[in-house]
Amino acid sequence: NAGVTQTPKFQVLKTGQSMTLQCAQDMNHEYMSWYRQDPGMGLRLIHYSVGAGITDQGEVPNGYNVSRSTTEDFPLRLLSAAPSQTSVYFCASSYTTGSGANVLTFGAGSRLTVL
């Protein structure tokens, strides 16, 4: 059981380049999400999905696209990278505990630098 798998772990881009961060989970979770984490700030939600074929914007969606063609995969695309997108990106899926909590399981993270 691999959990949430993210690739790549590290990436350096030049301004204007595009790329896709891959995320896959093998826990059959319906809910998946992408966050970015910047120093001194809380995790910020970029996009999320409540099931295959359904995606929605989070707090900071500009410059990013997502799709959810299967339950397992939720890639994040940077359309035209900007230095402001330098960050650590986390993919997460969630399950509901017996007490009703929607607990997030995070991938290992992808550290992106845009020059």
Partner 1 sequence: GQNIDQPTEMTATEGAIVQINCTYQTSGFNGLFWYQQHAGEAPTFLSYNVLDGLEEKGRFSSFLSRSKGYSYLLLKELQMKDSASYLCAVTDSNYQLIWGAGTKLIIKP
Which chain residues interact with partner 1 by CB under 8 A?
40-45, 58, 90, 97, 99-109
Least distance between partner 1 and beta carbon 39 (Å):
9
Compute the distance between CA of residue 51 and CA of residue 32 in angstroms, rounded to an integer.
8
Least distance between partner 1 and beta carbon 108 (Å):
5
Compute the distance between CA of residue 60 and CA of residue 67 in angstroms, rounded to an integer.
16
Q: Which residue has the tokens 């910047």?
A: 38
- Helices vs strands, H then E, count in the chain: 0, 11
Beta strands 110-114 and 102-106, pairing class: unpaired
Beta bridge partners of 102: 96
Least distance between partner 1 and beta carbon 43 (Å):
4
Least distance between partner 1 and beta carbon 90 (Å):
6
